[in-house]
């Protein structure tokens, strides 16, 4: 019995050609035929062990946070330092434990959540300590770090072509972000400008410009690949 | 049995580091007997082989700086085969034993975690298992000749050594090369693996290869590359036309005249740039043959071994704790590990058995698992005048197989197809 499309010889009990899926007409039915593979399917590995461990970690962390809160409320009639501990534990849980509950790590969902949580934590500290540095320093710096991290991860995961060029732009952006950090520091705390950020901008800028130039010069690109492959 | 442990050989280091929950690098060798397999006798045969093959019956252990292999005390029990070959071997199972023996009707299959051995080592083990099975089942003594070992002897030192450490050149060869075209498709549910076996007469295949003036491996690599090229032409025009390259594992035992039952193979990538123009099969055959010949000369192989071994010998790297090393290896593998070839073509060559054993054996199969990031692989073995070309895929689309086998038919090679798809 041959496939009329591919010309290959088929097994006698084939209902269709496994290559082009052309149906076989007048299939001979001589009763039960032996098949090349069995009907046995592998049992899916149980996730219960991991789930129990994650549950245990969650319970321990929650108990620690709750214990601190109750201790402070009882002894000082105030949340006091326990707020930092409880929220810090919540932050650590969101960063490290929460993604483990999911089958796949989805950076485009988890990373924005992670940085939003950090911003929230800093807002709490700012409010509790009576500072006014959140809006002019902590928030923009956190957001900047978030955007650069998400951009970098997205580039590595989803972009196949022109990575070197994008990486060079990212390196330059990281360099410029140091200058912005110093600017926010300047307007918030009154520190002088251009004390340390210029060094960062220069180093990152030069690396970035070199990579950018290299992305247009095939021999230089090949040299980088040859020297820095891993 | 005395508990022994072995360092992972140079090629084996990467496999435990990069394995995932549902994927690791495993391969299968299988023998189909003339009669239905008796599982009890098979289990006795496995137990008899246990002391003679200490590097095969091992489990994966974790050290402070490296993974290592430790001999198992009890032989693994043969289990019934699954609906598809190479179902995942999770870490939990590897901690018990890195080899799995399966049976189904007339077939005995051995599946190995690649850190244990390579295809050639696996096939030697399977032949010994089949020989012992024949002895126990039919009472026929199989003489220790060729690949068949004397089970009363102690394991030989040459079988257990890491030959990579012996063959490195003084200078290393760069690994830098062009990235290859990536085959894609819709993944199968539940990690189902489609296996399509094309059975072709060895004589006709040899004649066709010799007509082109090339070896069977080069000929099959050329036909496969042409199929990948056709597949690439079906892609949307805006997708970049990367190089068409076939990864060919080369058995180094012949190259360096060494015998080991552990990994001793290196993969070479051979192919062409589709943007340079149109290619005929004759041209691709010549291209593949000469590239393969140039890449596999002992000096170049020694240089490539040196590249790998030198890295392994860096003190700082050796002193890095295993979790950090694992993380680094995973990163390296994710970036460049599987990007240099479109798919593997692993040709085991012809299996030769002692005359006394041949009447009991119908055929052999050799199947390598799919890689983590590319969905097709191809493996070849010949026995008894037939060549068994096993193409495995983790995606639904069978276009590559169709293009490959129908090209063989067009070239005048009759192909008989078997599949595990119902």
B34, part of any domain: yes
B161, part of any domain: no
B234 touches chain A (CB under 8 A): no
Question: Are A19 and A8 within 8 A, CB to CB?
Answer: yes
Question: Are B281 and B226 within 8 A, CB to CB?
Answer: yes
Contacts of A8 in chain B (CB under 8 A): 198, 405-406, 409, 415-417
Among candidate residues B117, B151, B185, the one where a domain is terminated: B151
Question: Average pLDDT for consecutive 10-residue bins of chain A (230 residues)?
Answer: 85 83 72 70 75 92 93 87 93 91 82 94 92 92 94 79 84 94 92 90 93 86 57
Closest CA–CA distance from residue A202 to any residue of chain B (Å) = 28
B205, B211, B214, B220: CA torsion to nearest 10: -40
Find the residue in B nearest to A10 (Cα): B417
Residue B365: which CATH number?
3.30.559.30
Find the residue in B nearest to A104 (Cα): B21
Q: How far apart are CA B345 and CA B222, in angstroms?
A: 11
B121-167: per-residue pLDDT in tens?
999 999 999 999 999 999 999 999 889 999 999 999 889 989 999 88
Token couple for B116: 């244990």
B314 touches chain A (CB under 8 A): no
Identify whether residues B245 and B356 lie together within a single domain. Answer: yes
Q: What is the pTM of this model?
A: 0.72
Identify whether residues B178 and B130 lie together within a single domain. Answer: no
CB pairs under 8 A between A and B: 95
Identify whether residues B138 and B262 lie together within a single domain. Answer: no
Identify whether residues B411 and B263 lie together within a single domain. Answer: yes
pLDDT of residue A229: 40
B90 touches chain A (CB under 8 A): yes
B10, part of any domain: yes
> Domains in chain B: how many in total?
2
Task: Tell me the range of A141-155, B99-113, B224-238 where mean pLDDT is highest.
Answer: B99-113
Identify whether residues B270 and B220 lie together within a single domain. Answer: yes
Q: How far apart are CA B306 and CA A28, in angstroms?
A: 58
Residue B63 has pLDDT above 90, yes or no: no
Interacting residues of B281 by C-beta distance below 8 A, sequence separation 6+: B212, B222, B223, B226, B407, B411
Residue B260 has pLDDT above 60, yes or no: yes
Average pLDDT estimate for B252-280: 93
Question: Are B304 and B171 within 8 A, CB to CB?
Answer: no
pLDDT of residue A65: 93
Identify whether residues B112 and B250 lie together within a single domain. Answer: no
Confidence at B81, pLDDT banded by 50, 70, 90:
very high
Question: Are A17 and A4 within 8 A, CB to CB?
Answer: no
Q: Measuring CA to CA, which residue among B271, B148, B224 is closest to residue B407? A: B224
Q: Do B105 and A45 touch (CB under 8 A)?
A: no
B92, part of any domain: yes
Q: Measuring CA to CA, which residue among B29, B165, B180, B52 is closest to residue B108? A: B29
Strands B343-350 and B244-251: parallel
Percent of chain B exceeding pLDDT 90 equals 72
pLDDT of residue A230: 35
Interacting residues of B329 by C-beta distance below 8 A, sequence separation 6+: B13, B14, B17, B18
Token couple for B411: 């070239």
Q: Residue B47 is part of which domain span?
A: 5-151
B158, part of any domain: no
Among candidate residues B101, B119, B151, the one where a domain is terminated: B151
B350, part of any domain: yes
Closest CA–CA distance from residue A78 to any residue of chain B (Å) = 43
Q: Do A36 and B197 touch (CB under 8 A)?
A: yes
Within chain A, residue ranges assigned H as helices are 48-76, 82-92, 98-101, 107-129, 139-158, 163-189, 197-214, 218-228
Among candidate residues B105, B120, B151, the one where a domain is terminated: B151
Helices (H) and strands (E) in chain B, counts: 14, 15
User: Residue A54, Cβ neighbours under 10 Å: how many?
Assistant: 15
Identify whether residues B124 and B240 lie together within a single domain. Answer: no
B160, part of any domain: no
Identify whether residues B51 and B147 lie together within a single domain. Answer: yes
Within B39-114, residue ranges assigned H as helices are 39-49, 91-94
Contacts of A7 in chain B (CB under 8 A): 406, 409-410, 415
Cα B141 from chain centroid?
30
Confidence at B372, pLDDT banded by 50, 70, 90:
confident
Distances (CA, A) of A193 to A140, B185, B349: 17, 54, 71
Identify whether residues B144 and B172 lie together within a single domain. Answer: no
Identify whether residues B174 and B225 lie together within a single domain. Answer: yes
Strands B99-104 and B107-113: antiparallel
Residues 171-200 of A with CB under 8 A from B: none
pLDDT of residue A226: 53
B163, part of any domain: no
Interacting residues of B289 by C-beta distance below 8 A, sequence separation 6+: B212, B213, B214, B215, B218
Identify whether residues B199 and B144 lie together within a single domain. Answer: no
């Amino acid at each position: 019995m041959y496939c009329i499309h591919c010309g290959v010889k088929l097994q006698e009990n084939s209902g269709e050609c496994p290559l082009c899926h052309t149906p076989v007409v007048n299939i001979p039915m001589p009763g039960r035929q032996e098949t090349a593979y069995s009907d046995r399917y592998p049992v899916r590995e149980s996730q219960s062990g991991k789930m129990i461990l994650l549950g245990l970690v969650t319970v321990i962390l929650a108990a620690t946070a709750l214990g601190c809160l109750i201790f402070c409320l009882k002894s000082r009639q105030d949340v006091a330092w326990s707020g930092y501990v409880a929220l810090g534990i919540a932050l650590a849980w969101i960063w490290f434990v929460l993604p483990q509950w999911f089958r796949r790590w989805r950076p485009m969902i988890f990373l924005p959540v992670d940085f939003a949580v950090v911003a929230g934590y800093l807002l709490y500290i700012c409010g509790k300590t009576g500072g006014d540095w959140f809006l002019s320093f902590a928030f923009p710096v956190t957001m900047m770090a978030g955007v650069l991290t998400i951009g970098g991860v997205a580039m590595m995961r989803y972009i196949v072509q022109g990575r070197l060029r994008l990486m060079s732009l990212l390196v330059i952006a990281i360099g410029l972000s140091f200058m912005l950090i110093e600017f926010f520091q300047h307007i918030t705390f009154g520190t002088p400008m251009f004390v340390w950020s210029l060094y960062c901008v220069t180093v990152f800028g030069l690396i970035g410009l070199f990579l950018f130039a290299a992305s247009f010069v095939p021999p230089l690109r090949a040299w980088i690949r040859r020297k820095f492959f891993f | 049995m005395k508990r022994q442990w072995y360092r992972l050989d140079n090629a084996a280091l990467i496999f435990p580091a990069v394995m995932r929950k549902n994927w690791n690098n495993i391969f299968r060798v299988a023998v189909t007997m003339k009669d239905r397999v008796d599982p009890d006798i098979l289990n006795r045969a496995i137990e008899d082989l246990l002391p003679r093959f200490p590097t095969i019956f091992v489990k994966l252990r974790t050290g402070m700086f490296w993974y290592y292999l430790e001999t198992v005390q009890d032989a693994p029990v043969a289990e019934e085969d699954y609906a598809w070959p190479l179902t995942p071997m999770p870490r939990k199972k590897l901690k018990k034993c890195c080899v799995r023996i399966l049976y189904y009707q007339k077939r005995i299959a051995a599946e190995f975690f690649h850190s244990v051995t390579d295809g050639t080592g696996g096939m030697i083990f399977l032949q010994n298992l089949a020989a012992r099975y024949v002895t126990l089942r039919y009472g026929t003594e199989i003489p220790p000749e060729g690949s068949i070992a004397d089970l009363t002897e102690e394991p030989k030192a040459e079988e257990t050594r890491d030959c990579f450490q012996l063959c490195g050149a003084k200078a290393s060869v760069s690994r830098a090369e062009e990235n290859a075209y990536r085959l894609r498709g819709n993944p199968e549910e539940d990690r189902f693996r489609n296996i399509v076996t094309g059975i072709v007469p060895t004589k006709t295949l040899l004649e066709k290869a010799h007509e082109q003036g090339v070896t069977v491996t080069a000929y099959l690599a050329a036909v496969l590359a042409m199929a990948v090229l056709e597949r690439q032409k079906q892609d949307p025009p805006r997708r970049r036309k990367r190089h068409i390259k076939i990864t060919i594992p080369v058995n180094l035992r012949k190259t360096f005249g060494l015998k080991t039952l552990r990994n001793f193979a290196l993969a070479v990538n051979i192919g062409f740039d589709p943007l340079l123009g149109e290619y005929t099969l004759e041209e691709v055959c010549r291209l593949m043959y000469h590239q393969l010949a140039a890449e596999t000369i002992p000096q170049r192989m020694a240089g490539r071994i040196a590249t790998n071994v030198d890295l392994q010998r860096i003190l700082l790297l050796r002193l890095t704790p295993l979790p950090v090393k694992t993380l680094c290896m995973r990163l390296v593998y994710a970036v460049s590990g599987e990007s240099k070839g479109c798919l593997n073509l692993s040709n085991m060559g012809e299996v030769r058995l002692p005359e006394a054993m041949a009447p009991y054996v119908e055929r052999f199969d050799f199947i390598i698992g799919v890689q983590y990031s590319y969905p097709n692989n191809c493996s070849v073995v010949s026995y008894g005048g037939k060549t068994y070309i096993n193409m495995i895929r983790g995606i639904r689309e069978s276009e590559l197989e169709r293009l490959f086998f129908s090209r063989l038919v067009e070239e005048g090679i009759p192909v008989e197809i078997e599949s595990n798809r119902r």
